[in-house]
Structure 1
Amino acid sequence: MSRRVFVMALMAPLIGLVLTQGEASAAPNFQMPFPCNQVWEGQTRTGHSPPNSVDFNRANDDGDPVVASAAGTVTRVANEGSTSYGRWVEIDHGSGWRTRYAHLSAQSVSVGQAVRIGQRIGSVGTTGGSTGPHLHYEQRLNGADQKITFNGSLIFYWGTRSYTSRNSCSTTVAGTVGTDSGAAVTIRSGPGTSYSAVGSVASGATVTISCQAKGETITGKYGTTNLWDKIGSGYISDAFVYTGSDGQVAPDC
């Protein structure tokens, strides 16, 4: 064997290693597909399809929000009926990276839509081949499933562990207050009209939402919801706030 061939043979594994490290470095800083501070049990198992995917569960999770684990563009919003993924969503994050969210009870996005990290894309369900409510989640690179990382850390393989979401914990969301009559909206000390009034905000004002809580169901200009938005030290019903989404857009309070 010539010296050049010998050297190239020695370098081949290193070249492959460099390419693999380069691809890994392009991965987004994925976060859990749930609002900030929610705690979920994640299960990995060797017989899972695909093997590197994870199933998430928690008590009474049917209908819970599922959010984008990184910013990207929606590439699939599909329904496999009573088989496989059931209702599912796929998001393209660039550089060959995509995420999949399956067994959803509802999908909140459309193909071609740009989504931000932490934006609601659907709801936990039990569609497709599921035997109970849970979220099936995948991270894929160039079509192949990868071992999953959140906030730069690899999840546990193989078995079950408890994880706390840090998705969008340090971000705030802007919204515009609106009422049909143009009247101001009362700010409450808690998420309901039974809580004391602590101020008001004018219709047309822009507000910063630090977190959201579930409370009294209210009907307003932007629909009917039990979500309440914390602005400053008080709450207003999300039914009077336009954020561009009908679902939860900020962390849990």
Structure 2
Amino acid sequence: MFRRFTAVARTCTLAAALALGMTAIPAASAASPAAPAADRGPEAAVTEHLRGKARSAMRSGTETNPRVSVKRQAGGWAFGTAVLATAPGSAELPQGWLFVAHRENGAWKVALEGEPAFTGLSTRAEPVLRAEERRALASGTAEGGMTTQLANGDYRTGMALPFTVGQTWYMTSGPHGWSGSNTPWSSLDFAGGDQIVRAPRGGTAYTMCKGWIRVVHDRGYATDYYHLVNNITVDGAAVAAGAYLGYTGNDVTCGGSSTGRHVHFALRQNGAYIGIAGHDFGRWRPENGGAAYSGSALHGSHRVAAGGQLYNYGALGLTQGIIDTNGSGTALNKRSGPGTGYAVVGTVADGATVTVSCSRNGTTHTGRYGSTALWNRLSDGTWVSDAYMWTGVNGPVNGYC
């Protein structure tokens, strides 16, 4: 069972690092994402587009430096990365997007991830995007070109934590914004173990700039990794779950600041950062605290506060759940049918991972996130109440029996 909870916020603990010379861009009115720009080449067109984007993407007064990298160009099409770098020591981390541009009627039409035109351009950009990239990028914007914050209440990610399965790392900071206390609280900080950052799920990887990797996954998700050192340099490379991305560090080549080597790990969906709370990573689900950087993570009934250690259990399957007895301290009864009127035929421990075959309504029970009459049939043929299971969705995770 999954019940969405509310949240509050504070900011990431970061301090100044590298000194980079950056200049502020002049104020500009926001440009239409689909408006063609004069044909001075795709780099100039994307830079002009970024100048219009800066006002809505950054806090007022933040110095930014557009950095555009055209990775591929062919047949009137261009693809690459567009980054609004910030000054060294800035409280604002850089903002960055993948872009697609198309030359039409002598001018370049530009769209960034999350903008209405991005899906249409990505779908058509065969000269510069492989088929699997076109599918992944087109799925990263909701139907109709509108950016959404959640995929219909489905919080399943199929992701592990961003380090080796079986290792234990510190969650040095709980949910916070990409740039600290700003919302949504999309990010967690991790450090420890062998300090090697790995992809939590397969996808397509892009280097946004030195120290910053983005991996585009399925189902509209993407994940960001910042402050890396010795990170991979990739332009649309396929990476498997567990693939090496880099080492934790304090790199701020594109701006912002960092104290203490770590990876700043952030969740995106449909082209924008989203709240990370309630999603599953390595069979833990982060919960917001009263301020950014606080909060905790839950595995079954076991709660670890920010600053504590998380063991990476690996990815939770999309038809699996985690038993959560809501702190009762006892194992959960398994029954021969969907209700307490059926015989007890075994028990399952708090925190155990189970596979759901199908679901059916039965007797009503109340768990951590509310009351439900839904019961889940497990792969061994026994039944447990959905009130005591976290799956990431409200309702059946694998259809009705």
Give the structure-2-normalised TM-score: 0.32
Greater strand proportion: 1
Give the structure-1-normalised TM-score: 0.49
